[in-house]
């Protein structure tokens, strides 16, 4: 298989939980050699979500393609371990509160002086600057303060937060983009840069034009459930067999084809539905027309007939549907991997797809805390005696198997 785009790039992932590790995962998927440093007690993500046979499934997903090293940064010797690793790296990703790295002697000025080509990406709740910068920040707060929750949920109901790490995931993708842009810039300038990602900023950007609308028009978008202010139809609809489909009539030609299918030429020529503006005004009647047609048919029939009519439609999937879908398998959206902890497993594949330099999931066997500590520290000049001393002092953690083998 051809090498990934980032083959040869060394990344130190000093972050915890989701946003930073997700960014590092993306870099690893595309070929980077990623070393994840976690506290000897283990990343908190090891205790989030469900497990099988003691294996944390969320942690395994986000920390694939990484080597695990356990270091306690409260020890001076632990800080030196990180400096040694960083001195050979291209990228450092961190998500500690502003000032924490500096207190450990790992702030941007020190690292930049030590290794001027290093790219440092720091992901925090509210960024490195501004009045909120020192406040604790999690994805929930980002989803709230970004404007996302205010526009999400049914009309006249409470604001709704997503049941997954939306802000963290988007911030991770944005950080991975920034890192690759910084690596390109380094090729021109010869020096690395400091990247400052606030969790709320990428999500605030993708929510839409609500800020400009209020700035210029003084209006706030209402919560509209599955609808959006800009287009109609756009909703989910229940089929005869209790399944759901979603569709969008964003393009006028698509909406006309849909109307002909569910209501014949009469519906297609109905003045209430003759334009997107009219369809928005008569959204309730339009949804009723579509709902009646969909409710009288199975999901399979609805999808078949709508696709034949070239209508933009998709089933509402859960994980069981996703795993069975032939398109996802064929494209690599879902990949199967042989894992020495769980056997054959399936998870989301790397993205985006680069045919000439494909990304890959090479390893998901994260294993115990410190599973790769000995090997990684050996690569940066620590002897077996040095490693044993650090372990006995509580500076690092290493897997029991490695310790026995080395001893």
Q: Would you name the residues annotated as active-site residues?
A: 168
Q: Which residue has the tokens 């840069």?
A: 193
Question: Among candidates 30, 25, 26, which has minimal Cα distance to 8?
Answer: 30
DSSP string, 126-143: S-SSSTTTTS---HHHHH
Do 159 and 149 touch, CB atoms closer than 8 A? Answer: yes
Residue 304 Ramachandran class (φ > 0 left, ψ -120 to 50 alpha, else beta): alpha
Q: What residues have CB less than 8 Å from 293, skipping those under 6 apart?
A: 261, 262, 263
As given in the structure block, the two tokens for residue 342 are 């769980």
Residue found by looking up tokens 């994805």 in the block: 139
Mind spelling out the 3-state secondary structure of 144-196?
A: HHCCCHHHCCCCCCCCCCCCCCHHHHHHHHHHHHHHHHHHHHHHHHCCCCEEE
Name the residue among 288, 345, 369, 311 with its Cα closest to residue 38: 369
**CB neighbour burial string for 41-79, b if at least 16 within 10 angstroms, e if fewer:** ebbebbebeeeeeebbebbbbbbbbbbbbbbbbebeebb
Per-residue CA distances from 351 to 28, 174, 177 (Å): 11, 13, 12
User: DSSP assignment, residue 151?
Assistant: G
Given a contact cutoff of 8 angstroms between Cβ atoms, the answer to whether 213 and 221 are in contact is: yes
DSSP, collapsed to helix, strand or coil, labels residue 225 as coil
Contact present, 228 and 234 (Cβ < 8 Å): yes
């Amino acid at each position: 298989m051809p090498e990934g785009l980032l083959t040869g790039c060394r990344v130190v992932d000093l972050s915890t939980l989701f946003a930073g590790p997700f960014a590092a995962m993306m870099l690893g998927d595309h070929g980077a050699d990623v070393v994840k440093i976690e506290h000897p007690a283990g990343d908190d993500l090891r205790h989030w979500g469900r497990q099988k046979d003691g294996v944390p499934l969320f942690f395994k997903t986000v920390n694939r393609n990484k080597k695990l090293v356990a270091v306690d940064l409260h020890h001076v010797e632990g800080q030196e371990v990180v400096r040694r690793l960083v001195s050979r790296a291209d990228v450092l990703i961190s998500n500690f509160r502003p000032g924490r790295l500096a207190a450990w002697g790992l702030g941007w000025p020190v690292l930049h002086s030590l290794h001027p080509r290093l790219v440092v990406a720091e992901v925090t709740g509210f960024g490195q600057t501004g009045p909120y910068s020192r406040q604790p920040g999690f994805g929930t707060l980002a989803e709230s303060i970004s404007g996302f929750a205010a526009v999400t949920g049914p009309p006249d109901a409470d604001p709704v937060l997503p049941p997954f790490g939306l802000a963290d995931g988007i911030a991770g993708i944005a950080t991975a983009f920034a890192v690759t842009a910084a690596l390109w810039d380094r090729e021109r300038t010869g020096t690395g840069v400091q990247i400052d990602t606030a969790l709320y900023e990428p999500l605030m950007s993708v929510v839409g034009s609500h800020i400009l609308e209020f700035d210029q028009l003084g209006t706030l978008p209402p919560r509209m459930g599955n609808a959006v202010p800009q287009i109609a139809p756009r909703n989910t609809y229940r089929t005869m067999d209790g399944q759901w489909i979603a569709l969008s009539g964003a393009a006028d030609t698509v909406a006309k084809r849909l109307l002909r299918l569910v209501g014949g030429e009469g519906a297609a020529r109905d003045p209430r539905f003759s334009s997107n503006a009219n369809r928005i005004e008569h959204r309730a009647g339009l949804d009723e027309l579509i709902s009646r047609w969909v409710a009288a048919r199975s999901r399979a029939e609805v999808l078949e007939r709508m696709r034949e009519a070239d209508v933009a439609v998709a089933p509402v999937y859960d994980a069981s549907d996703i795993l069975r879908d032939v398109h996802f398998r064929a494209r690599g959206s879902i990949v199967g991997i042989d894992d020495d902890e769980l056997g054959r497993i399936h998870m989301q594949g790397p993205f985006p797809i680069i045919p000439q330099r494909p990304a890959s999931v090479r390893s998901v066997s994260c294993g115990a805390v410190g599973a790769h500590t000995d090997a990684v520290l050996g690569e940066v000049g620590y002897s077996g005696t040095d490693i044993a001393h650090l372990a006995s002092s509580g500076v690092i953690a290493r897997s029991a198997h490695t310790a026995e083998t080395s001893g």
